Amino acid sequence: MSKGQQPLCEPELFEPLQELVKRYGIVNLVETGTGPSSSGLEAAKRLGLRGYSCDVFRPCVERAAHMYPGSLCFHGESLGFFAHILPTLVGPTFFWLDGHCPTDQACLPGPIFPPYEEMLMIRSLKRGYEHDVLWIDDIAMIDVPDNPTASRWDVDLAGIRWQGAKEHSWEDYLSLMAGTHDYEVNDCMLRLTPKT
């Protein structure tokens, strides 16, 4: 790690991301869920990308805004964040869509697992989305019979009892971008890349 760099919370994913940036000419990195480590913004900084991030927990956003002053750090839930940034994004973009598991009562309200809705918004609001790369993390949270990675959930998230994402089938997720993207499941992550 070079001087001034922060650690990446998932360093094993940085090299594949670096390859995707080269292969697809990615210029933006958008993550949902800044978290305490701001790992996505650190990756954007290292790769020379424009960084965009959001979180429902103000201390995470404030820390990230201080550490990455050239990035947009949004205090709010991801769907509002997407409505704000997607129409303005230009160029191939890497999207890291995350499950949101708020455990602090101070978190703003928002959906716990919104990647399906986020993908719909990308498809309808982001110009050139067919050139974008999407990683949908935490797919084990999609607790439906046809999901090969599904896990059972029964957790308390900031006072809400949550038992997994059941609103959409696994096929719903796969079909959203089927016309423009190929997919693979790797490391409990759904990875979508532009069709060649």
What tens digit of pLDDT does each residue of 113-171 get?
899 999 999 999 999 999 999 999 999 999 999 999 998 888 887 777 888 889 999 99
Per-state percent for the chain, helix, strand, coil, to nearest 5: 35, 20, 45
- Which is nearest to 33 in space by CA: 85, 83, 98? 98
Q: What is the mean pLDDT of residues 65-91?
A: 97
Residue 132 has what pLDDT?
98
Q: What is the pTM of this model?
A: 0.92
* Model pLDDT for residues 46-68, shown as the tens digit of each residue: 999 999 999 999 999 999 999 99
Residue 7: pLDDT over 80: no
Rounded Cα distance between 41 and 64, Å, is 8
* Model pLDDT for residues 178-188, shown as the tens digit of each residue: 999 999 998 78
pLDDT bucket at 175, cuts 50 / 70 / 90: very high
